[in-house]
Amino acid sequence: MSDRLMVAVPRGALFEGTLDLLERLELDVAEVRANDRKLLFEGPGIVTMRPSDVPTYVEHGSADIGITGKDVLLEQSDRKVYELLDLGYGECRMVVAARNGGDPIADALRRLGRVRIATKYPRVAAEHFARTGRQAEIVEVKGSVELAPLTGLVDGIVDLTATGRTLEENDLRVLEDIGVCTARLIANPVSHKLKAAAIDRLVERIRR
C-alpha cells in the first residue's frame, strides 16, 4: 500500500498556520493558497473543509490525517480518531463569559437554582457545568453567541476567545477559564496502522 497521505486541512482561523506548517514540511501548497473555492487538491494530497468536519473525514478514512482545533475535538469527543500532536499554533481560550456588572450566572443560580448558557459547544458547556456541580440549561446557537446574553436569552455564554476584544466590544467579560485550545494533529486509526511508517516520519519531522 502506498505511504502517500491524504491530509484534511481546516479553512478559517487555522488555515494559514496549517499551510505554513505543511510548507515547512516541503509540501507544495501554492495551489491551495491561490484557490479559495477548490476543495480537493490531489497533487499534494490535501482536502480542505470546515474545522468541525475534519474529525468526520479522518474518522471515516477519507483523509489519513487532519489538523483541527482542540475545541472541535472536545466537542466531538466520541469521534474515533487518534490525537497525535499539539501543534502549538492557533491558541485560544475556552471561557465562560457574561455581561459586565455583577455576576449574572451566580445571580441566576441563587434565584432559580440553574443557569441558562448559550454556546456553539453544547457538550463542552454541559460537561463544564456538571463537573462544577451547577445545573445548566444549554442553548445551542450557530451565529454570534455574544448576542444571546445582550438580548436576555441567556445568563452567560461558553465560547472561544483569542484576544478578548469581541467580548469587550459587546460589554461581556470572562468569568471562568475552561481551557486552552490549540491546533492538533489527528489520524485515522486504520491509517495509523497501515501507513505507520509515513505517519511516524511526519510526526518526527513536525517535532523537529
Tell me whether strands 7-10 and 46-49 are parallel, antiparallel or unpaired: parallel
Residue 2 has pLDDT above 90, yes or no: no
Same domain, 86 and 96: no
Evaluate whether residue 1 is within a structural domain. no
pTM, rounded to two decimals? 0.92
Same domain, 11 and 68: yes
Residue 3 has pLDDT above 80, yes or no: no
Give Cα separations from 73 to 80, 94, 186 (angstroms). Answer: 10, 13, 9
Section 19-48 average pLDDT? 94
Same domain, 28 and 51: yes
- Cite the DSSP H helix spans in the chain: 15-24, 30-34, 54-59, 70-75, 104-112, 122-131, 147-150, 165-169, 189-194, 196-207
Same domain, 57 and 135: no
Evaluate whether residue 58 is within a structural domain. yes
Same domain, 98 and 175: yes
Same domain, 164 and 187: no
- Report the domain count for the chain: 2
End-to-end, the C-alpha distance of the chain in Å comes to 27
Whichever domain contains 98, its CATH number is 3.40.190.10
Q: Quote the pLDDT of residue 36.
A: 87
- pLDDT of 140-182, one tens digit each? 999 999 999 999 999 999 999 999 999 999 999 999 999 999 9
Domain extent, residue 145, equals 92-179
